């Protein structure tokens, strides 16, 4: 999660919403690192989770990532949860809950929908205070700048 926090800080430096993500294989090997980049990539799907999953899938040459763990600093949104489920990740570890758009308990919990054909282990609140602080600082500065 420390690596993901560093990536979130890098995203903030680039004026992206500060979210970082890391995919780790069952062996403990880091498969991919990513941070939010929708503005820089001009791509609404360029969330940290999506980019990390794409890169990890490319490394293992398979769109399925069984046995892998995704560490992310902020609770995933609906789009990212869909990708996580399709990738068949074993575990999702996240920092801060997102009460506005989080879908693993923040705004709503969609992880136990009966029609989903994959369930994953979820560990929440890991480095939550630091994750929240990075986000609050980023948005506080944006408000002060009038943006």
- Identify whether 16 is a catalytic site residue: no
**Alpha-carbon span 38 to 18, nearest angstrom:** 11
Residues 6+ apart with CB under 8 A from 76: 49, 84, 92, 94, 102, 103, 104
> Which of the residues 49, 90, 130, 141 is marked catalytic?
49
The pair of three-digit structure tokens given for residue 56, joined into one six-digit string: 């990890």
Contact 50, 84 (CB under 8 A): no
Phi, psi of 88 (to 5 degrees): 60, 40
Strand, helix or coil for residue 60: helix
Catalytic residues: 49
């Amino acid at each position: 999660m420390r690596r993901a926090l560093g990536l979130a800080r890098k995203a903030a430096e680039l004026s992206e919403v500060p979210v970082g993500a890391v995919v780790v294989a069952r062996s403990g090997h880091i498969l991919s690192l990513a941070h939010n980049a929708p503005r820089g990539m001009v791509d609404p799907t360029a969330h940290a989770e999506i980019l990390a999953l794409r890169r990890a899938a490319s490394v293992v040459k398979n769109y399925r990532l069984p046995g892998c763990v995704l560490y992310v600093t902020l609770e995933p949104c609906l789009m990212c949860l869909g990708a996580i489920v399709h990738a068949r990740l074993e575990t999702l570890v996240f920092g801060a809950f997102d009460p506005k758009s989080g879908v693993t308990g923040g705004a709503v919990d969609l992880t136990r929908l009966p029609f989903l054909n994959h369930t994953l282990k979820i560990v929440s609140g890991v480095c939550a205070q630091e994750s929240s602080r990075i986000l609050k600082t980023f948005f506080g500065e944006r408000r002060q700048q009038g943006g």
